[in-house]
Structure 1
Amino acid sequence: MSSQREKLLEAAVAQSFNAVVITDARLDGGGPHIVYVNRAFCEMTGYAAEDLIGQSPRILQGPDTDPEVIDRLRTALRSGSFFEGATVNYRRDGSAYDVEWNISPVRDDGGELSHFVSVQHNISDKMWMRRERDLLAQALNVASDPIIVTDRGGAIVFVNQAFERLTGYPADEMLGRTPAVLRSGAHDAAFYSGLYAALARGRPFRATFTNRRKDGSLFHAEQSIAPLCDGEGEVTHFVSVSKDLTERIERERALQEIASRDPLTGLYNRRAGEQALELQVQAAHAEGTALSLIIGDIDHFKSINDRHGHPAGDRVLAGVGEALRGAVRSRDLAVRWGGEEFVVLVPECGAARALELAERLRSSVAGLQFPAVGRVTMSLGLATLVAGETAAGLVMRADRALYRAKHGGRDRVETAAALD
């Protein structure tokens, strides 16, 4: 029965898919030496069994065999302990292959170390794929454009160094998280719905994103996101390649800001004000929110220019503009409408609160004193948007209220009636 088990074991090892080599345990005289190899081992190495029996496994080593791995192996053999490792070995024809092996000590009935048995795997294909993957990662890392790779659930599995530089997030902080950490709030739900819908259909998505860095600052990037599929066409990952547009967009915005500002007062000019008014009227009607408009005129401004000259008049205009900027809310828009006339757009604000703001504006201007000119005042008209009203209609009603303020004694606020 014992003999039968031994034959069965020998047949199993001989026919094993894995390469098996057995050596003796003698470490002197250049040992250990090979006492058995199976067919898989011969196929892996290109040697016939008779060429290997009696040889040291060192016959398989060559220039690229890792000496540190071999040193660890010898230490394990001397101590009679288990070993596993991987390195480069060489076939009989001199070609290299990557091998992974584990070596187990074998002891006789008396507990004496008698042999070592090693099970080996040719991992050349796996190592080639790993080297290709490492090469790809290296190539992605040196790319100048930020790159993110996520799994199909959106968890980040790779970011390159350009991404780290752009966002301020190191790779180890991003792995496992989703790109949502970069959201700035600049895009609405519809924007992201379009993104998810495109990716769900297996289509790429391209847009300019305004995102937030780790330090809280904003950046702008043109981002292209595309699905990656396996051999069966199933989406496995998504890859995003970005181009940093921050400098260009900020430069364009700065130029646009310059073009929309009145150079004397620093307030928005009439063209920008009219565009903003049209948008705010549309938004107020669509969302059912309030919108008020205040129009003001510096009292007796023509006489200031006539008596003290245009430079003095410019100083008054600049001072009034500064006073208006300091008195309005952050969401309000102060505009130099033309000449000595100013407009303040007051979104989400009904007539009562807008009247309080108009009085504050009037008081702020009335408190100004200018060399040679002295005290100046402003008259203001206020109108609050009514259902179906156009931007032109709102301005006309506010202008009529201003007219009444001018002819009612100046330095005062008049409110337009709803159907004025």
Structure 2
Amino acid sequence: MGLILAAILLGAFVLLRLSAGRSRVNAERAELLSTALDQASGAIAIADDRLNLVWVNESACRVTGYDRSELLGRPVSRLLIGTAPRSFFINVWRTIRRGAAWIGILTLRRRNGYFTSVHVGLSPLLDQMGQLTHFLAIQDQSAALEAQQRDFDTRIRTDDLTGLLNRPGLIAAYASAYARSQSAWIGVLDIERFR
């Protein structure tokens, strides 16, 4: 849902920027959209048809660890080198150049050398003649929230030290097994004096 809203906002922003006359109303709307995109919680980036970054929001800077000045004018490949086979990226860019959107997980190389995975939607931006002019990347944060929820669920059901089920995890597993088969067994092993 966040990906769709950001795409709509960005589309409106691009259209206003392209068609904005000198009118004050259009200038105010363009400024509002620009502010909204820049302050969006998900990373948003625009690259030209040669895949050089021309615009990024603050969230993109946070995700990558780079300042805006370090990203703008630089190739997208700077963030993607060594993260997947070259053939993968060739297929992704072919898909987008054909006019289709691509949605998936990309691994980015952060400024500090570490890698981070982001769920992202990549779309072509076309001019009024239907010609590709730019590429749009919008981070979908719902995947990150789902991963956080899975991590939270795992952490409340397992022991941090051993990774084994703790009491709430064991109770939930027992209840689930019992509900499926109407019978379940539990074995207990006291390992306090185990040597």
User: TM-score per shorter chain, which class?
Assistant: 0.5 to 0.7
Matched with 1:282 is none
CA contact (8 A) 1:184 1:210 kept: no
Q: TM-score, normalised by structure 1?
A: 0.30
Count of matched residue positions in the alignment of Structure 1 and Structure 2 = 138
Secondary structure in 2 matching 1:163: helix
1:135 is displaced (CA, Å) by 2.6
Matched with 1:186 is 83
CA distance in 2, matches of 1:150, 1:174: 10
Matched with 1:141 is 38
Q: Which structure's residues are more often strand, by fraction?
A: 1
1:132 is displaced (CA, Å) by 3.9
2:134 to 237, 251, 259: 237
CA contact (8 A) 1:220 1:249 kept: no
1:252 is displaced (CA, Å) by 5.9
Indicate how the Cα distance of structure 1 residues 173 and 241 shifts in structure 2: closer, same or farther if over 3 A, else same: same
1:146 is displaced (CA, Å) by 0.4
State the identity as a percent.
25
Matched with 1:311 is 194
1:311 is displaced (CA, Å) by 2.3
Indicate how the Cα distance of structure 1 residues 125 and 193 shifts in structure 2: closer, same or farther if over 3 A, else same: closer
CA distance in 2, matches of 1:251, 1:185: 29
CA distance in 1, matches of 2:27, 2:133: 19
Unaligned segments of structure 1, at least 5 residues: 1-123, 265-309, 313-420
Unaligned segments of structure 2, at least 5 residues: 1-19, 164-192
CA distance in 1, matches of 2:68, 2:123: 21
Indicate how the Cα distance of structure 1 residues 176 and 197 shifts in structure 2: closer, same or farther if over 3 A, else same: same
CA distance in 2, matches of 1:132, 1:177: 29
Asked if 1:199 corresponds to 2:96, the answer is yes
CA distance in 1, matches of 2:79, 2:149: 22
Indicate how the Cα distance of structure 1 residues 216 and 205 shifts in structure 2: closer, same or farther if over 3 A, else same: same
Secondary structure in 2 matching 1:239: strand
Asked if 1:172 corresponds to 2:69, the answer is yes
Matched with 2:185 is none
Higher relative CO (Cα under 8 Å, sequence separation at least 6) belongs to: 2
Indicate how the Cα distance of structure 1 residues 184 and 234 shifts in structure 2: closer, same or farther if over 3 A, else same: closer
1:248 is displaced (CA, Å) by 5.7
Q: Which structure's residues are more often helix, by fraction?
A: 2
State the structure with more CA Rg: 1
Q: TM-score, normalised by structure 2?
A: 0.60
1:246 is displaced (CA, Å) by 5.8
1:150 is displaced (CA, Å) by 1.1
